[in-house]
Structure 1
Amino acid sequence: MRWDYGKVYQEIRKSKGLTQEDVCQDFLARSTLARIESGNTIPKFDTMVFLLHQIDMSLEEFEYICNLYHPSPRQEIINAIYSQHDLVGTKEIEILQKKCQDYLKTYHDIPIEHILDILNVVISLRRNGLHNQNDDFQKNTQKIWSYLEKQNTWYENDLRLLRTIIYYFPIETIKEITPKILDSLAKYKDFQNIKSCQLSFLTCLSTIYLYNNLLEDCEKMSSMMLQLSLELKQYDSLALSQVRLGICRKDDDLIKKGLELLRLTEETALLKTMEEEIKKFR
């Protein structure tokens, strides 16, 4: 990692054909930018945000460039945990678990500790199944919940953490915390990056309520899921929400509509799951 980020900023600025005057205008003294670029001044947070906006760059991209166009070890872990394609098998999850353990030997990093907790839960589920869990599984899920339970508001990554363990809560607890989940998600309604997390959470809640025969609650979650699926053009989720709403409302036309969409998009695995749900709950 290059820590002379003032120099990196200067290189990017020049490559874009921008002068210090172009960047600063009347909002920042040119001499301040000169000191930052020479490494003689550490910029304040709001100053760095302003400078990055001027070169049309996110903090994540700037950090990536500072790391010689590679993700840092920390970012590699974060990228992997949020990429379903990278964690399809238990072996890949165990490799990432080892990376977290090695990283935490050198650094104190609460988010990476949380990722390690998630991985421990997932690996335990893969090895032992849902109904044959040991004390370590309970310890890891409780550790995550102890961190989340004390918070007044759940933020994006808190919600991702909660989604990992919510299936293992008693239904009474889920009903109790659902309003807080929805309230936390609603605060992010204009934050584009949260949309996939919102959709995933609504799917989780819809599933939990359906399988506990709480059709009124399932209908509410599925209705919200349908609207968000339309907004995101997420057709697998749209079809799922149509089938679930059809089950809850006893609407065979809506069920048929969802199944046809799954056939058109060749979502065979999800189609099979929906057909099983229809047999069980309709």
Structure 2
Amino acid sequence: MFLGSTIRQIRSSKGINQSILADGIMSRSNLSRFEGGKYYPGYDKLILLLDKLEMSLEELLFLQNGYAQPEKRTLHLSLVEAANRYEFDKVRTISHECRFLYGVTRTEAYYHLYLLGQGFLIQYQREDEIRQLSELAGEIKPYLMGADIWYLYEFKLLNNFLFTLSSGDAIFFGLRAADEFDKYHDFAESRTIQQHLMQNIAKICLKEHNYEQSLFFLKKALPLADKTNLLYDKIVTLVYHEITLLCLKHKDDTQQLLGYLDILRQLEFNDSYEALQQVCRIHLPDIF
């Protein structure tokens, strides 16, 4: 992959000359050779160039690829979109494509996408090559257990495959995720996945009437919703938090819960409003 021409394009568009960009990193002549495809600097120097250009490696690769996302990301989005639209033939096709790409590249992420597609089909009673969610859990659990340190990929993987796990396994891995998240405290890009993961595990616990454990994960999710400035996520998390507190008899006033639900209704999140009303009827039948 030749990145020099893309670096030149970014530098020129920002009005930065070669001498300024190269200063403290490499000679101007080497930068010129890099931009011309005749020299490739070490990775450490590339990172320094990107830092000076206020550019992430991810964005550089996005530009290098003609404003297109990496193939794995595109396949993941297409898979989720097809499942949400109940386009099961497309889900099956993408899943098989990912299995083929794994066979060619041995890149494990492709295999995980294959499994995810199979999981979507199982959820909707359209079983394909894998017949049971427990088979998927049997693939994902050893991978997560075998990772000495979790990175963002492992957090995303757990979130994607929560639906295949028992509540006990979800709690087990959720507790590990909560510990691993501490290392990412100052990494802003991780907060959205952290918030979604903690909230989703809390919902699993709530469904099992495990209110104490649900409260634990919701307390992790709430401050993350503040930090990510995700208004919708914060309101939904607050609704679950209020439901859990009421179920645990930690409070008996429903005013805040009703207020958060009303905000969703006023903001026209109608599907979420109705779904959360149903959750309230299940767990708080004497109130709703």
TM class by shorter-chain length?
A: 0.7 to 0.9
**30 and 173 in structure 1: CA distance in 2 versus 1, 3 angstrom threshold:** same
SS of match in other structure, 1:198: helix
Q: Give per-residue Cα distances to partners, 1:106-152, cap 9 Å, x unaligned.
A: 433221221221221122112269xxxx7454332211112111122
In the alignment, structure 1 residue 239 sits paired with structure 2 residue 239: yes
Distance across 2 between alignment mates of 1:213 and 1:240: 12
Identity fraction in percent: 19
Q: In 1, are the aligned partners of 2:3 and 2:64 still within 8 Å (CA)?
A: yes
Match of 2:8 in 1: 10
Q: In 1, are the aligned partners of 2:119 and 2:164 still within 8 Å (CA)?
A: no
Distance across 1 between alignment mates of 2:196 and 2:243: 16
Distance across 2 between alignment mates of 1:49 and 1:86: 36
**199 and 277 in structure 1: CA distance in 2 versus 1, 3 angstrom threshold:** farther
Which sections of structure 1, spanning at least 5 residues, go unmatched?
Answer: none
Q: Give per-residue Cα distances to partners, 1:36-65, cap 9 Å, x unaligned.
A: 112222221111111112222222222122
Q: In 1, are the aligned partners of 2:72 and 2:109 still within 8 Å (CA)?
A: no
Q: In 2, are the aligned partners of 1:205 and 1:221 still within 8 Å (CA)?
A: yes
**243 and 66 in structure 1: CA distance in 2 versus 1, 3 angstrom threshold:** same
Displacement of 1:186 in angstroms is 2.1
Q: Select the residue among 162, 176, 182 that pairs with 2:158.
A: 162
**14 and 186 in structure 1: CA distance in 2 versus 1, 3 angstrom threshold:** same
Match of 1:276 in 2: 281
In the alignment, structure 1 residue 148 sits paired with structure 2 residue 144: yes
1:258 partner letter: L
SS of match in other structure, 1:239: helix
Q: In 2, are the aligned partners of 1:121 and 1:141 still within 8 Å (CA)?
A: no
Q: In 2, are the aligned partners of 1:230 and 1:238 still within 8 Å (CA)?
A: no
Q: In 1, are the aligned partners of 2:25 and 2:45 still within 8 Å (CA)?
A: no
Which sections of structure 2, spanning at least 5 residues, go unmatched?
Answer: none
Q: In 2, are the aligned partners of 1:124 and 1:137 still within 8 Å (CA)?
A: yes
Match of 1:187 in 2: 183
Q: TM-score, normalised by structure 2?
A: 0.81
Match of 1:204 in 2: 200
Q: Select the residue among 218, 242, 245 that pairs with 1:222.
A: 218
Match of 2:34 in 1: 36
Match of 1:108 in 2: 106
Distance across 1 between alignment mates of 2:65 and 2:221: 39
Displacement of 1:241 in angstroms is 2.1
Q: Give per-residue Cα distances to partners, 1:10-50, cap 9 Å, x unaligned.
A: 12212222111110223322222122112222221111111
- The answer to which of 55-64 and 17-26 deviates more is 55-64
- Output the aligned Cα RMSD: 2.9
2:249 partner letter: R
